[in-house]
Amino acid sequence: MYKFVMPEVIFGSGSIQQAGESCARLGAKRALIVTDEGVIQAGWSELVEKSCRQAGLSSFVFSNVSVNPKDEEAEACARIYLENECDALIGVGGGSAIDTAKAAAILATNGGHIRDYEGVDRIFSPLPPLVMVSTTAGSGSEVSQFSVIVDTAQRKKMTIVSKSLVPDIAIVDPDVLATKSQHLTASTGLDVLTHAIESFVSIASTPLTDVHAKNALALSSRYLRPSVASKHNKEAKEQMAMASLHAGLAFSNAILGAVHAMAHAIGGRYPFLHGDINAVLLPHVMEFNLLASPDKFKEIALLMGEDVQSLPPAAAGEKAIDFVRRLSIDIGAPLTLAEMGFEGSAIPEISEMALSDACMITNPRDITAEEAAALLRKAL
C-alpha cells in the first residue's frame, strides 16, 4: 500500500501571470512573495506582484534568500509575514526561495524553531495557502513535500518532509527559463536527472512514481544538452520544465538516495550550487548502487536512448553511468568536488552527517560511513 500526493499544477507559457489569481482562489487577500535578488533582477517577481494587484491582492516581498537557504532567513521571512498580517505565501524562484517560503509557512502557523520540524511528519497545524512559481526547472520543490534548510548553528542541512509542505498550486512557466545562466541551466538540469534516477531506484518507489521518474529520465536525457546550448530553444526549455515537474512528482513520493544525502551534508557547509554537488556525486553513487538493482539501471540506460537491449543488466547499467559522465562533460558541469573548493579533510565529518539524512533511508544499497567516505574520496 502506498500514497501519492501532488498539488494542482498550472503549466505553460505565460502561466506565471496566474500567480495572483491562484492565490485569490485560495481565499487570500495579502500575499508574501518570497524570492531572491536574481529573480527580481530578471523581472519575474515584478510580474507576480502585478498579477497580485490585478487579482485584488496586497503583496509584500521578502528576498533575503541564500543559495542554500538558512534557518535565520526562514525566521526573518516568517516575521515579515506575521508583521504584515499576510494570509498566503507565493514562492518565486528555484528551490532556495520555495523552500524558504515553505519553512516560513511552518513557523507562521506552528511557531517554534525550524529545527523542531526536521525529519518526517512533524508538522501538526495546517499551513497558510501556498502558491509556488518555479523559475529553474530543477528543484521540484514547487510540487514536493520537502523543504531543505540549513541549520546555521550545526552547519548542516535539515530535510523536512511532510504532506503539509505540498503546495496548493504549483506554477511552471517555461518562459522564465530563458533568463537563466548557462551554468545554472546545467546545474539545475543535472539536479532533475539526479531526482529522476534516485527516485526510480529508491526502495520507496511505486508504480505511480516510476511513471513520473521514467518520463523525467527520458525528457532530461534528451533535452538538457539543447537547453544548455541556447537560451532561445523554447522546445528544450519547455521539455526541461516538464522533466523537472515529473522528477519532482517522483521524488516527492518515492524520496531520494545517497547522492542527495551527501549533497545535503556538503551544502550545509559550502556555498556550492546543489545541482553542481549532485552532478559530481551522481556517477559514483550509481556505480555503488548498481549492485542493488541492475534491472532498474538497465531501464535507465534504455530511457536514455542507449543501445543496450541485448546487454545483461549490469553491463547495461554501466552504459547509463557513462551517459551521465559524458553529459556532465558536454554541458560543462564540474567533475570533481575539489575544483569547487571542497576539502578532503572534511570527508569524515560529511560522511557521518550524510548517514543521518532522511534521504539515505531510501537508498537502494545499504551504506556505511566508510563507504560514504570512500565515495566522497573518489569524487574529490
- Rounded to whole angstroms, the Cα distance separating 193 from 379 reads 18
Largest CA distance in the chain: 63
Which of 250/273 has CB closer to a copy of itself? 250
CB atoms inside a 10 Å sphere around CB 2: 11
Residue 12 as a binder of a copy of itself (CB under 8 A): the answer is yes
Q: What one-character DSSP code corresponds to residue 14? A: T
Q: Can residue 3 be called a binding residue for a copy of itself (CB under 8 A)? A: yes
* 1 binding a copy of itself? (CB under 8 A): yes
Count of Cβ atoms closer than 10 Å to residue 126 Cβ: 10
120 belongs to the binding site for a copy of itself (CB under 8 A) = no
- Asked if 11 is part of the footprint of a copy of itself (rule: CB under 8 A), the reply reads yes
Other beta carbons within 10 Å of 332: 12
- Residue 112: how many other CB atoms lie within 10 Å: 9
350 binds a copy of itself (CB under 8 A): no
CB of 131 to a copy of itself, least distance (A): 13
Residue 276 to residue 279: CA distance in whole angstroms: 5
**Residues 150, 154, 159, 165, Cα dihedral to 10°:** -60
**Quick check: 136 and 95 in contact, CB under 8 A?**
yes
Q: Which stretch binds a copy of itself (CB under 8 A): 197-205, 210-218, 327-335, 344-352?
A: 210-218
Output the nine-digit C-alpha cell for 132.
509556488
Q: Is 211 in the site for a copy of itself (CB under 8 A)?
A: yes
Distance CA 33, CA 51 (A): 12
Query: Strand 58-62 to strand 30-34: parallel, antiparallel, or no bridges (unpaired)?
Result: parallel
Position 332 contacts a copy of itself (CB under 8 A):
no
Output the CA torsion sign for 205, 352, 74, 40: negative
Q: Is 312 in the site for a copy of itself (CB under 8 A)?
A: no
Residues between 14 and 43 with contacts to a copy of itself, criterion CB under 8 A: 14-15, 18
Please select the residue that binds a copy of itself; options are 55, 130, 208, 345, rule is CB under 8 A: 208
Burial of 153 (0-12, 13-18, 19+ CB in 10 A): exposed
Spell out, one character per residue from 219 to 258, where the chain touches a copy of itself: x when CB under 8 A holds, - when not. Answer: -----------------------x---x------------
C-alpha cell at 199: 527516485
Q: Is 122 in the site for a copy of itself (CB under 8 A)?
A: no
C-beta of 279: minimal distance to a copy of itself in Å? 26
Unique residue bearing C-alpha cell 522528477? 247
How far apart are CB 4 and a copy of itself at their closest, in Å?
A: 5
Kindly state whether residue 110 participates in binding a copy of itself, applying the rule CB under 8 A. no
Please identify, using beta-carbon distances, which residue of 14 and 271 lies nearer to a copy of itself. 14
Terminal alpha carbon distance of the chain? 40
Of residues 149 through 168, those in contact with a copy of itself by CB under 8 A are 163
The C-alpha atoms of residue 330 and residue 189 are separated, in whole angstroms, by: 13
Establish if 8 lies at the interface with a copy of itself (CB under 8 A): yes
In the list 96, 215, 221, 363, the residue contacting a copy of itself (rule: CB under 8 A) is 215
What part of residues 251-290 is at the interface with a copy of itself (CB under 8 A)? none
Nearest-approach distance from CB 11 to a copy of itself, in angstroms: 6
Q: Which of residues 54-83 bind a copy of itself (CB under 8 A)?
A: none
From 11-19, 76-84, 149-157, 362-370, span contacting a copy of itself (CB under 8 A): 11-19
Compute the CA torsion angle 240, 139, 92, 154 (nearest 10 deg): -160
**183, 206, 340, 378: which one binds a copy of itself (CB under 8 A):** 206
Q: How many residues bind a copy of itself (CB under 8 A)?
A: 24
Nearest distance from C-beta of residue 126 to a copy of itself, angstroms: 9
**Closest-CA residue to 11 (of 251, 244, 226):** 244
> Which of 73, 168 has the CB closer to a copy of itself?
168
Q: Are 91 and 61 in contact (CB under 8 A)?
A: no
In the complex, the residues that contact a copy of itself under the rule CB under 8 A are 1-6, 8-15, 18, 163, 206-208, 211-212, 215, 242, 246
